[in-house]
Structure 1
């Protein structure tokens, strides 16, 4: 398998741990180990006495059971735990696809959602969100792209980087198309739980369709990226069994401390998610004010869910803008060209408490270098 360089991750490797103001992070506010352990009396003693031998390949049974609380119908026997979402994506694409298969991917997308499929030898068609309609997806466009070789449709709701969230009706229509045409839906749901309005939360695809696959992770909604725990939930026995066998060639099993801590966190999943939703609400209010003041420079679509948005730069090159910003103000934004060379957007992240300071620096940059604001009218 030959994979192209992971552009986004190479960009982060250059800047993430040396730049003082990260304004494009996709994960939510994390926590210290002691803060997590403090959620339950005696958790620190249980961690101290944890056995550090091999763990079960499918994932610790208690963790798998905790994951089921995020679903309506999924059982622990339908969950397989991986070392983060990335391993789950890689393994799934390898067990599901073969050369010549056709894959349709919701775009713009996290690169591995399409790149691994290409590496396997599949043909990838991009199903583009529409910037002028707040990154909405058109099911008619999907229907016209389907062929008799379409094996897989990949979606991501809530969407990274745009924050797009469809309706429940959309999900059920897509499920019906899956039944009619025989393709599998791979649903990246790593931002599920970050809806600003709880009534907007979509059903997990694995709860809606027996062939579908739902991807989850501890990194985004819960801010626990350092645990490196992700999972796949599915009623599709063939996919599940193939994943279990393939994992023997990747990580085999997961970190015992990570599984312990993920299980602990999921027992308090709603409290952690609500903490992060509160951070997001406050940060979005600040972003609304900023983009309202600079609507000549940026096009802003307020997201309905998730911890990222994808504003459009209306003047100049987004690559030059992001490079100059990090150089002069130490603020990191993610240029949209890392997703698609034709996009003059940038990813902004608002799930962390550092946003006010970072946004102040961005405001200074915009004013220092003479970009127009609405007050200049």
Structure 2
């Protein structure tokens, strides 16, 4: 298998740790080790007892139990833990798909959600979202493009990079289309729990459908990307067994220390999520003011969930050039839409970190100098 270069991750690798401000980070504000340890009374003593040998391939049983609590109808035996969501996506697609299978992918998308399928030799149909429609999904397009060879529909709610979240009735229609056609539904749910209104939260695909596959991670909503802990939850036993077998060719098992801290964080998830939502809401208020002030420069569609959005650049300049000039002059990083293979008019902005107001001020200074 030869996979195309991962544009977004290579862009980050080149710039992320060499700039003063990352204004396109997809994750929330992280924690240091001491901050996590203060969440529980005896955590430091328990940390000292962590055995640094091999761990269980499917994941620490306690961690699998804590992850299962994030769902309404999943038991720990229906959860498998990986070294991040990327490994989960890679293994799932390699197990699920074969050459000439057809998949439909909500788009724009994180590159691995379609590029792995391309590398396998699948036919990939992009289910394109547009800001002219406030990023709403065209269900007629989905229904029309399902064929006899369609193996899987790939969705991402809340959505990266737009922050889009469909109404529950739209989501239910997607689930029902998958059921009616006996198609797998691969659901990237890494931003779940960052809905600005909890009433808008969608149920997980794995809770609604026996061919639903839900992917989660500690990186985004929980702000713990350094743990490299992700997971798949599914009720499909045959698929689960194939996924667990394939993992023996990748990481085999996870870091004992990472699993310890993931357990600690999930036990205290309400504290972590509430803190992150407070940061997001404060930053969103600033972004609303900013984009209202500079409405001649940008088209702003306020997201419904998550810590990222996808504004459109209205001035006569490519998004890539705009982002690179900002990087050069103000050491502020934005992610141009070219790294999503989605034209050259949008950019991703992240607002899950505490220093976003400072980065936003730098962006405003840059605009004033144009």
- TM-score, normalised to structure 2, is 0.99
1:243 is the counterpart of 2:243:
yes
User: Does the aligned pair in 1 maintain the 2:319–2:347 contact within 8 Å?
Assistant: yes
Aligned residues: 369
1:125 is the counterpart of 2:125:
yes
User: Does the aligned pair in 2 maintain the 1:172–1:208 contact within 8 Å?
Assistant: no
Aligned equivalents of 2:313, 2:192: Cα separation in 1: 27
Deviation, 1:343, is: 4.0
Aligned equivalents of 1:354, 1:123: Cα separation in 2: 42
What is the match of residue 318 of structure 2? Answer: 317
Unmatched 5+ stretches in structure 2: none
What is the match of residue 343 of structure 2? Answer: 342
Deviation, 1:283, is: 0.2
Aligned equivalents of 2:167, 2:58: Cα separation in 1: 32
Q: Secondary structure at the match of 2:18?
A: coil
Q: Secondary structure at the match of 2:17?
A: coil
Aligned equivalents of 1:270, 1:113: Cα separation in 2: 29
Aligned equivalents of 2:45, 2:73: Cα separation in 1: 34
- TM-score, normalised to structure 1, is 0.97
Q: Secondary structure at the match of 2:25?
A: coil
Aligned equivalents of 1:350, 1:192: Cα separation in 2: 16
Residue correspondence of structure 1 range 163-178 to structure 2 within 5 A = 163-178=163-178
Aligned equivalents of 2:130, 2:65: Cα separation in 1: 38
What is the match of residue 365 of structure 2? Answer: 364
Do the aligned partners of residues 343 and 205 (structure 1) sit closer, same or farther apart at CA in structure 2, a change above 3 Å counting? farther
Deviation, 1:341, is: 4.6
Aligned equivalents of 1:228, 1:269: Cα separation in 2: 17
Q: Secondary structure at the match of 1:165?
A: coil
Aligned equivalents of 2:108, 2:160: Cα separation in 1: 8
Deviation, 1:182, is: 1.4
What is the match of residue 72 of structure 2? Answer: 72
Aligned equivalents of 1:43, 1:301: Cα separation in 2: 42
1:34 is the counterpart of 2:34:
yes
User: Does the aligned pair in 2 maintain the 1:325–1:331 contact within 8 Å?
Assistant: yes
Runs (4+) of structure 1 exceeding 6 A deviation are: none
Q: Name the Cα RMSD after superposition.
A: 0.7
What is the match of residue 2 of structure 1? Answer: 2
Unmatched 5+ stretches in structure 1: 370-377
What is the match of residue 334 of structure 2? Answer: 333
User: Does the aligned pair in 1 maintain the 2:84–2:229 contact within 8 Å?
Assistant: yes
Deviation, 1:130, is: 2.1
